[in-house]
Amino acid sequence: MFRRQDGKSSNPQRQYGSGADYNTEMRYDASTIPEFDKRPALIHILLLNKTIRLFVVLGLASVVIPAFAYLFFFSKEIGHGSKRDIIGTCGHPTLYHIPCGFPSNLTQTECHLLGCCYTSLATCYHSLPSEHQCIIGNDWTPGAPAILSPYRAVTPYGKSALQEVRFDVSVTEDEGGRFQFKLSKVNASKELSASVGLETADLQVQVYSPTFFIEVKRKIDQEVIFSTARGPLVVTDDFIEWTLHLGADFLFGLGRAYLEPGTKYLLLNDQNSTAIPIVMGYNAKLKLFNGLMFNTPGMTEVEIVGSRLIIVRAQLGEVFDLQFLPGPTPAALYRQSKAILQNQYTPPYWAYGVHVCDQSVKRNLTTVRHHLELLLNDTIMFDSHCLHNDQFWLSDAMAIDKDIESMLQLLRNAGKKFVPSLVLTVAYGGNPTFIDAREKGILLRHPGNLLAYQGRIRNRTAVYVDWRTMERSSNVTEWLDAQWQKVANLNADGYVLEEANPRDERNSSLPLPRQLMYQPDQLNDTLVDLLPWNTLLADNAELVLAQHNLIGVSALEAVQKMLEPSNSLIVTGAYDIHSRAAVLPMNISASWISLRSEVDRVIGHSVVGISFTGTPICGNAPLGRVNVSEELCIRWYQFGSLLPLFRVTADRTPNQFSRFGQRLMHAALRRRFALLEYMNTLILEDAPYLRPMFYHYDEASNYTMDLWEQFMVGEALLVAPVLLPQMAQIAIYFPDTFYELWGGQEMQGNDVLQYAVVESDLPMFIRPGYIVPMRDIVEELLDLANGTTVPITADLSRLKPLHLIGAFECNVRRSKCSTAGRVVFQHGFRLDIIIELDDRVAISVIANVSAPEIAQQLACSEAATLNVTIASAQLYGHPNSSEPQIYDIEYDFCQQNGKRIEYANLYRKGTEDAVGNLS
């Protein structure tokens, strides 16, 4: 205890802070305090002695640490009951626990009989390594197929394991090298062109035996960047479960910008989701990206456990194909996936325009005509119309009566395109389409009577074509050829494929427990919109669920064979990673949650290589007339204006809202038309369209890896759309210095800024070192040469001159700066722009043309459809001035292939140069 000793006990009234004469010295009080004046107990002497404490701690450690090491690494029987010959331990961390069988309702005895571990929380999980693995013979040699056999004859799901599984591995050297691993049924396999050595310049594959595990290692440090050793491999005749590990701290893919640990994802094509079987990840320690891709013909579930293990449970057809993408950067991953996918889609330029479709619940041509006339009379910007999305069924006669013909004439007179919705489901009844399909045996079947299954679609009884049938593929082709004669009579400019994925509005048939080999948690909610779970394929007794993901994709491929790809637009919600079409999900509700989900979806698609995609503006769920929030629609217009495909229902076009809302929606569309050349450049170059922030800034991964509310459009633009109602400011992370796109306000880098927004704002920022080409779109209306005034369209926007917006990137001393960009008009026709800032400002424009005659026809003939002139450049980021720098360029491709122009650097310190000569 302390007491103050000041040597003046006669003056006890002295106060703290009473002046300079206050003595602050403190001393121990040596007087006895009776209640604590006791001899210390022995335990206190022991605990207070440092030497004794050290020996106690060491003694405990010598017992506890070996015990825990034994539990974690050497125990072969803990948790398995009386069995002693187990190959793994149950003492591994819970983050690595993989559910075994049906763990929610297994008893401890049942769990142990499966060869799995049981906890006091009544959960059953696989040992590590799992008993449920395959055995590979010691005589296997790299580059040759191997035959695997199961370690246990019965799987955790009560079904027998496949007794023989063929394993193939091969190496592809292109794009940094890829590894392909293939598990297949022995009687269905074909030889792979295997590579000797199983290695690339940077990586090597190791296949372990006798227990079958795969590892991919980096040669430089022997770090494992892919492994199958951390969970089970279960293969039955119709099911596979495989645990995969990318060594990643952050995961993305499966059509999403970020994969949340502890979440299950069901990959089953329906109206607003699809199977995107690509998972990519980032390793924070190694600072590298890698990924994997697998096939998903049928129902597939992907579970991400807390340790970022990836568990794939899928319907197994003949083959399970897994490809490892080594990265190590997001750009390399993109190139590697695109080398496999080969899915670049480049429709005609007008496809970037605004597409309108009436989707009212009741088809009424009088109402359709009324909405169409309003669009034309109110000078609303749009490029195509579908009339009504329930007007043209493949099984109908598709006769064009005078009412439809008059509406089509309205479109043609206004220079608009006709892009009808084509319903691919077949109406049941006496129509020739149904009769022919039934006779050719190409319809999905009822499990009871094996006749064509009859469902309900859009208030009509319908049957469903098995588009993917292998044994009767020629029958499908013959049948579609006959139907397409009716479709061709529409003289359409493109098609939106509706109801390609089989759907039944009255389905109430859900599987009981254990009727399926494995039943994902989300399956029943999804099956409500699909066919009954036990519906059969057309050509065998297999469930539709086993091939469901291929049916709509095969329908798309069949229709595409009927079309000229370069002359038409085709839009679908039924697609896979290989599909070449514009992608638009169906049945998206009009809500803020849906808007945020759409942002996540589009980023997730873009980063893996599905670029020509869009979002249904303000939703497209068939729920009848609902009151949609004007603020929500404004924000949806702003986000949707950045995507390649822009489609809106007829009751949510700008003229359906207040004057205020109409003005803001038109402003979003004007910005869209101004940016179309930049969008087209990204699509033609097959570059990632929307990019997560980590794509360019992985060094700031702590901020960027799970940040998807903001993104990059290409490499030049940062966008932060407003995704919540009544926002006055939003938080935006700037990993580097950026400049506000339209005014040039500098945003300091490496910081999160609270950015003020109003309802008209779509925050967009340009990255230093880049130039964005823009068409000079100021008004919605365009004056034509014949004296008429029409609303702007995608094609008409190309008649406007180009204007450049860019930002300088400077060296450390900020003495030299530069910026560059390009605009690709079509394959083989490109402009490169380079602007350098030193003593002078030097602007260079260079045309790169592989077919001069075609370029001249497009840009310089009397029938020119392309304006290849650059009027001016607006540049931000001058090292000595905060003001935007504006320079006239006046470049005209028809006059010269290239041009170089110099201006004085008026803001260079210590110089007084005059304006330079033009050349």
Asked whether the beta carbons of 498 and 419 are under 8 A apart, the reply is no
Residue 484 has pLDDT above 70, yes or no: yes
Question: 182 forms bridges with which residues in the sheet?
Answer: 168, 321
Q: How far is the C-alpha of 775 from the C-alpha of 766, rounded, in Å? A: 16
Residue 16 has pLDDT above 50, yes or no: no
Sequence-distant (≥ 6) Cβ neighbours of residue 287 within 8 angstroms: 698, 699
Tens-place pLDDT, residues 281-305: 999 989 999 999 999 999 999 999 9
Give residue 45's pLDDT.
Answer: 56
Q: How far is the C-alpha of 648 from the C-alpha of 121, rounded, in Å? A: 51
Q: How far is the C-alpha of 138 from the C-alpha of 156, rounded, in Å? A: 26
Give me the helix-helix angle, 473-488 and 548-560, nearest 10°. 50
Sequence-distant (≥ 6) Cβ neighbours of residue 527 within 8 angstroms: 507, 509, 510, 511, 533
Sequence-distant (≥ 6) Cβ neighbours of residue 169 within 8 angstroms: 142, 143, 179, 180, 181, 182, 192, 194, 198, 205, 207, 214
Asked whether the beta carbons of 310 and 231 are under 8 A apart, the reply is no
Tell which phi-psi region holds residue 210, choosing left (phi > 0), alpha (psi between -120 and 50) or beta.
alpha
Asked whether the beta carbons of 358 and 649 are under 8 A apart, the reply is yes
Sequence-distant (≥ 6) Cβ neighbours of residue 380 within 8 angstroms: 374, 653, 654, 655, 791
Determine which helix (DSSP H) or strand (DSSP E) holds 478, and give its type and residue range.
helix 473-488
Nearest CA-CA partner of 1 in 28, 36, 39, 34? 28
Nearest CA-CA partner of 418 in 568, 556, 562? 568
Token readout for 854 is 């075609």
Phi and psi at 219, nearest 5°, equal -70, -35
Token readout for 573 is 């919600």
Q: What percent of the chain has pLDDT over 90?
A: 71
Token readout for 64 is 């506890």
Give residue 62's pLDDT.
Answer: 72
Give residue 2's pLDDT.
Answer: 33
How many CB atoms neighbour CB 478 within 10 A?
A: 13
Q: How far is the C-alpha of 301 from the C-alpha of 314, rounded, in Å? A: 6
Q: What percent of the chain has pLDDT over 70?
A: 88
Task: Give one DSSP letter per residue of 563-617, joined into a string.
Answer: S-GGG-EEEES---TT--SEE--S---SSHHHHHHHHHHHHHHHHHT--SBEEEE
Sequence-distant (≥ 6) Cβ neighbours of residue 186 within 8 angstroms: 147, 164, 165, 166
Give residue 700's pLDDT.
Answer: 79
Domains parsed from the chain with CATH numbers: 134-341 (2.60.40.1760), 768-910 (2.60.40.1180)
Cα 309–Cα 695–Cα 688 angle in degrees, nearest 5 = 105
| Local confidence band at 554 (pLDDT 50, 70, 90 cut-offs) | very high
Asked whether the beta carbons of 798 and 867 are under 8 A apart, the reply is yes
Question: Would you call 14 helix, strand, or coil by DSSP?
Answer: coil
Q: How far is the C-alpha of 77 from the C-alpha of 426, rounded, in Å? A: 59
Asked whether the beta carbons of 655 and 374 are under 8 A apart, the reply is yes
Residue 37 has pLDDT above 80, yes or no: no
Residue 555 has pLDDT above 70, yes or no: yes
Q: Tokens 């910026």 correspond to what residue?
A: 819
Strands 384-388 and 354-358: parallel
Residue 11 has pLDDT above 80, yes or no: no
Nearest CA-CA partner of 118 in 131, 106, 132, 102? 106
Residue 469 has pLDDT above 90, yes or no: no
Task: Give one DSSP letter per residue of 251-269, joined into a string.
Answer: EEETTBS-PPTTEEEEE--
Q: How far is the C-alpha of 485 from the C-alpha of 722, rounded, in Å? A: 47
Task: Give one DSSP letter per residue of 819-831, joined into a string.
Answer: EEEEEEEETTEEE
Q: How does the average pLDDT of the chain come out, rounded?
A: 87
Tell which phi-psi region holds residue 712, choosing left (phi > 0), alpha (psi between -120 and 50) or beta.
beta
Strands across the sheet containing 898-904: 809-810, 817-826, 829-837, 840-849, 898-904
Phi and psi at 698, nearest 5°, equal -70, -15
Residue 778 has pLDDT above 60, yes or no: yes
- Give the least confident one: 97-111, 143-157, 617-631, 869-883: 617-631
Q: Write the burial class of residue 891 (CB in 10 Å: 0-12 exposed, 13-18 middle, 19+ buried).
A: buried
Q: Report, as an integer, the average pLDDT of 815-820.
A: 96
Q: How far is the C-alpha of 160 from the C-alpha of 477, rounded, in Å? A: 38
Q: Tokens 């249904």 correspond to what residue?
A: 616
Give residue 245's pLDDT.
Answer: 96
Residue 268: alpha-carbon gap to chain centroid = 16
Determine which helix (DSSP H) or strand (DSSP E) holds 370, and give its type and residue range.
helix 365-377
Sequence-distant (≥ 6) Cβ neighbours of residue 609 within 8 angstroms: 334, 337, 338, 341, 343, 577, 688
Q: Report, as an integer, the average pLDDT of 580-601.
A: 95
| Local confidence band at 744 (pLDDT 50, 70, 90 cut-offs) | very high
Q: Report, as an integer, the average pLDDT of 802-831.
A: 96
Give me the helix-helix angle, 630-640 and 659-684, nearest 10°. 20
Give residue 89's pLDDT.
Answer: 86
Nearest CA-CA partner of 494 in 563, 584, 391? 563
- Give the least confident one: 27-41, 108-122, 415-429, 434-448: 27-41
Q: How far is the C-alpha of 410 from the C-alpha of 481, rounded, in Å? A: 30
Give residue 188's pLDDT.
Answer: 63
Q: How far is the C-alpha of 403 from the C-alpha of 831, rounded, in Å? A: 46
Tens-place pLDDT, residues 751-765: 899 999 999 999 999
Give residue 197's pLDDT.
Answer: 66
The larger pLDDT score, comparing residue 26 to residue 626, is at: 626
Q: Report, as an integer, the average pLDDT of 621-640.
A: 86
Return contacts of 587-590, CB within 8 angstroms, 24+ apart. Answer: 587/270, 587/271, 587/272, 587/529, 587/620, 587/621, 587/622, 588/272, 588/615, 588/616, 588/619, 588/620, 588/621, 589/619, 589/621, 589/623, 590/618, 590/619, 590/621, 590/626, 590/628, 590/629, 590/632, 590/633
Task: Give one DSSP letter per residue of 283-300, joined into a string.
Answer: ETTTTEEEEEEE--SS-E
Residue 658: alpha-carbon gap to chain centroid = 34
Sequence-distant (≥ 6) Cβ neighbours of residue 148 within 8 angstroms: 134, 135, 136, 164, 165, 166, 167, 183, 212, 235
Token readout for 586 is 């169906």
Give residue 17's pLDDT.
Answer: 34
Give residue 580's pLDDT.
Answer: 94
| Local confidence band at 460 (pLDDT 50, 70, 90 cut-offs) | very high
- Give the least confident one: 247-261, 442-456, 553-567, 838-852: 553-567
Q: Report, as an integer, the average pLDDT of 209-223.
A: 91
Residue 202 has pLDDT above 80, yes or no: yes
Q: Report, as an integer, the average pLDDT of 319-326.
A: 95
Nearest CA-CA partner of 254 in 276, 281, 273? 276
Token readout for 693 is 């922030």
Tens-place pLDDT, residues 142-160: 777 899 999 999 999 999 9
Token readout for 839 is 């003593």
